[in-house]
Amino acid sequence: MPTTLIEQFGNPAIAIATGVGGVMTVLSLNALFLIWLERKVSAWIQRRMGPMEVGFHGVFQTIADMLKLLGKQLITPKGIDKPLYHLAPIVVFAPVVAATSLLPFSKSVAISNIDIGLVLIFVFGGFAVVGIFMAGWGSNNKYALLGAMRSVAQNISYEIPLILSALAVVLMVSAVGREVPIDGEIVALNGLNLAHITMAQVHWTWFILVQPVAALIYFISVLAETNRAPFDIPEAESELVAGFHTEYSGMRFALFFFAEFSNMFIGAMVATVLFLGGWEGPILPGPVWFFLKTYALIFIMMWVRWTYPRLRFDQLMTFCWAILIPLSILNLLVTALVIKVVQS
Amino acid sequence: MRQSAGPTLERTDEADTYYLNMGPQHPSMHGVLRLLLKLRGEEIVTCEPVIGYAHRAHEKMAENRNYIMFIPNTSRVDYLSGMIYNIAFCQAIEKLCSIEVPERAEVIRIIACELNRIQSHLLWFGTFLLDLGGITPFLYCFDDREEILDILDRVTGSRLTYAYGRFGGVTMDVDQDFLVRTLAFVKRIRSRFPMYEKLVGENVIFRERCEGVGVITPEVARQYGVSGPTLRASGIGYDVRRAEPYGGYDRFDFEIPTRTAGDCMARFEVRMAEMEQSCRIIEQAVAAMPEGPIGPKKLVQRLKPPEGMFYFAVESARGHFGQYILSDGSNTPLKLKMRTPSFSNLSAMETVLEGTMVADTIAIVGSIDIVMPEIDR
């Protein structure tokens, strides 16, 4: 089992400080890397060079941009709802930090190991919607409000197939993990514990092989949850200018941007844990495999973004309610049925 | 309470509705179009296009300078089919003053105009996809388009705002290299069409966004005087090149692509098919390129137009471009009125946009291919 920080340090205060510091470092470096990667991937797809000036192949471009954003004036529009407007970037960003601290990066590296980790991940995921709506409502702008309304409807809808497809995995874990030897003892695995989900896959097989439908639904829902194209409707540039963060400038905008990329990162990490066997892989150490799989998924997300046009809002909702949700319910029922039949 | 900036920001007269000013500063309003939308949620109750933000008084300028001084202005009216406008103005004056054009000059003009048409359609294709949220095709199109700009740049000296036409011919002769590169480009763009079809035309999301969206019925199209590819997508096969052949177009074999659906998808298909037809015209023109002079034997020193009214129309990349010239016999027009296609095409939007969604508005306005400076002039 992963040793958590509290077990490592004994003192909760030091553990929390280390955990938050570690998560922030990982997230910041990751966002810097992902923004650069996004630019490079889009450039490759569009037969351009991408950033080339700052550092080798523009690796420091994002840092330069961050410095520029830091120097920008923070424009506060008139007629805003002050508490909502100022709190929104923080409300969007804080759950990202909390969610990252739940993930098991390898057999021995995790910040925390909670028995209901999967539930908490979805709870924190749902939090971002509140922040987005605060931003849209608070900034006294019709485009922002439209973007926020779209965002709330979209995120609430797509949480259902997201959770239903994850539930299929939870059932699988409980079914295959009744007696798994861990560190010399026989343990019954808990389907809501993220480390246990990975254990079940190490013990048996990757869930993407036995749950391909759930994996696909999960991936599509993650695209929608993180507002990535072709579901980037809340911030549809050609329609709503910049959607819910139209009125945010400088570092306030950077926080939203940061949260978006970090959300993508978390979505891919959870998908890695649920379907791609987490840290499992030959030769290389656990965290390396974990991040390799995560970045492979992120690469696919970028690939999709730079290939497809955007769906219309009603088409997006129809796709969710008429196709994804029935399909994920069916998948869950079939999974439960098969488990019952095999067990009896 | 905020001071309202004019009557448009007042409360609406209907419950549960609000006004949204889309533009003139907006990422997908193609310049400076302003749409005054009355919305119920995301549904459009009424839509009122507001124009005039790019007015540069080209028509007034024409009244204050003689005909030859007006040539550079023409390509600035519609910067995307600048060559067509430029040549069209020269053709109008030639017809007015009965100036002969040598055959070689006519063929060169047709090649240049058709290259310009492809260039305009390519840019439309890219920006239309950009409006729909697909960013990558835009850069592919610009890659192709760049080649056309280079080819035309070699003979005209400009990339966008050409002044290539002269009364009775063109300014510069084309060489063998121009013809070789033009044919190479035709070959290249032909090899790209299947890719565009696969990447965009067969894309499920693209079809969902376009099929049945923004239907312009033939009746509405006739009422508003819609023309060009937008009209041909509504099932009316009107093309000035065929209806009233000018500048030697009757010598070439090409089709007028039409569709009957009248939706965004039909407009997309018509334009894609039109690029192929332009390629055919270019190939025939290059093959039939005659030797000879490219301008009149004696330079036109002073124009002597007859008195009276005169109208001349061509097919621009966006549709029926007409020039109404009122002449008093001097070398300056009393009045030069331009009938530009986008103006009529945009006017039809008031009817078409009602009851659609905000996202559809962007798709529909994008699909009719408007150029704001051409509307405002």
HSE-CB at B68 with a 13 A cutoff on CA atoms is 14
Q: Residue B120: its pLDDT value, please? A: 92
Which is nearest to B328 in space by CA: B301, B309, B302, B313?
Answer: B309
3-state secondary structure of B48: strand
Q: Does A68 touch chain B (CB under 8 A)?
A: no
Q: Which domain holds residue B208?
A: 56-375
Q: What is the mean pLDDT of residues B227-248?
A: 87
| Any domain includes B47 | no
Instruction: Please give the ipTM for the structure prediction.
Output: 0.77
pLDDT 10s per residue in chain A (344 long)?
A: 556 666 666 777 777 777 778 878 888 888 888 888 888 888 888 888 888 888 888 888 888 888 888 888 888 888 788 888 888 888 888 888 888 877 777 666 667 777 788 888 888 888 888 888 888 888 888 888 888 888 888 888 888 898 898 888 888 887 777 777 776 677 777 777 777 777 777 777 788 888 888 889 999 988 888 887 777 776 666 677 777 888 888 788 888 888 888 888 888 888 888 888 777 777 777 778 888 888 899 999 888 888 888 888 888 888 889 988 999 999 999 988 888 888 77
| Domains of chain B: total | 1
Q: Does A318 touch chain B (CB under 8 A)?
A: no
Which is nearest to A138 in space by CA: A218, A9, A252?
Answer: A252
- Residue B347: is its pLDDT beyond 60? yes
Q: Does A49 touch chain B (CB under 8 A)?
A: no
Q: How far apart are the first and last CA of chain B?
A: 38
Whole-number average pLDDT of chain A? 82
Which chain A residues are closer than 8 Å to B3 by Cβ? none
| Any domain includes B45 | no
3-state secondary structure of A159: helix
Structure tokens belonging to residue B105? 């000059």
The answer to whether A297 touches A271, Cβ cutoff 8 Å, is yes
**Among A220, A232, A302, A310, which would you mutate to test the B interface (most chain B Cβ atoms within 10 Å of its Cβ)?**
A310
- Measured CA to CA, the distance from residue A253 to residue A139 in angstroms comes to 13
Percent of chain A as helix, strand, coil, to the nearest 5: 70, 5, 25
| Cβ <8 Å between B358 and A237 | no
| Cβ <8 Å between B139 and A46 | yes
Cis, bond preceding B341 (omega within 30 deg of 0): no
Q: Residue A108: its pLDDT value, please? A: 64
The answer to whether B326 touches B59, Cβ cutoff 8 Å, is no
The answer to whether A90 touches A257, Cβ cutoff 8 Å, is no
- Measured CA to CA, the distance from residue B57 to residue B336 in angstroms comes to 11
Task: Tokens 């006017």: give the residue.
Answer: B347
- Considering CB atoms only, which of A142, A143, A229 is closest to B133? A229
- Measured CA to CA, the distance from residue B10 to residue B3 in angstroms comes to 10
| Any domain includes B13 | no
Helix (H) or strand (E) holding A119, with range, is helix A117-138
**Among A143, A145, A240, A308, which would you mutate to test the B interface (most chain B Cβ atoms within 10 Å of its Cβ)?**
A308
| Any domain includes B326 | yes
Minimum mean pLDDT range among A36-50, A237-251, B229-243, B244-258: A237-251
pLDDT in tens, B181-223: 999 999 999 998 998 888 888 888 888 888 888 888 898 888 8
Indicate the burial class of A103 (C-beta count within 10 angstroms; 0-12, 13-18, 19 or more).
buried
- Residue B7: is its pLDDT beyond 60? no
CATH code at position B254: 1.10.645.10
Q: Residue A110: its pLDDT value, please? A: 66
Q: Residue B53: its pLDDT value, please? A: 84
pTM value is 0.84
Measure in Å the smallest separation between the Cα of B151 and chain A Cα atoms: 21
Chains A, B: CB pairs < 8 Å? 80
Give the sheet arrangement for strand B18-22, strand by strand. Answer: B18-22, B34-40, B43-50
Measure in Å the smallest separation between the Cα of A262 and chain B Cα atoms: 22
| Cβ <8 Å between A310 and B132 | yes
The answer to whether A172 touches A200, Cβ cutoff 8 Å, is yes
Indicate the burial class of B287 (C-beta count within 10 angstroms; 0-12, 13-18, 19 or more).
exposed
pLDDT in tens, B139-159: 888 888 999 999 999 888 888
The pLDDT confidence band at residue B6, using thresholds 50, 70 and 90, is: very low
The answer to whether A230 touches A238, Cβ cutoff 8 Å, is no
pLDDT in tens, B35-61: 888 888 788 888 888 888 888 888 899
| Any domain includes B34 | no
| Any domain includes B50 | no
Q: What is the mean pLDDT of residues B276-294?
A: 88
For chain A, how many residues are written? 344
| Any domain includes B7 | no
Q: Residue A109: its pLDDT value, please? A: 63
- Measured CA to CA, the distance from residue A284 to residue A282 in angstroms comes to 6
| Any domain includes B41 | no
- Considering CB atoms only, which of B130, B131, B208 is closest to A315? B208
Task: Tokens 């997230």: give the residue.
Answer: A27
The pLDDT confidence band at residue B8, using thresholds 50, 70 and 90, is: very low
| Cβ <8 Å between A142 and B42 | no
Measure in Å the smallest separation between the Cα of B13 and chain A Cα atoms: 18
- Considering CB atoms only, which of A230, A306, A313 is closest to B205? A230
Q: Residue B4: its pLDDT value, please? A: 36
Domain boundaries, chain A: 75-343
Which chain B residues are closer than 8 Å to A78 by Cβ? 2
3-state secondary structure of A1: coil
Q: What is the mean pLDDT of residues B235-253?
A: 86
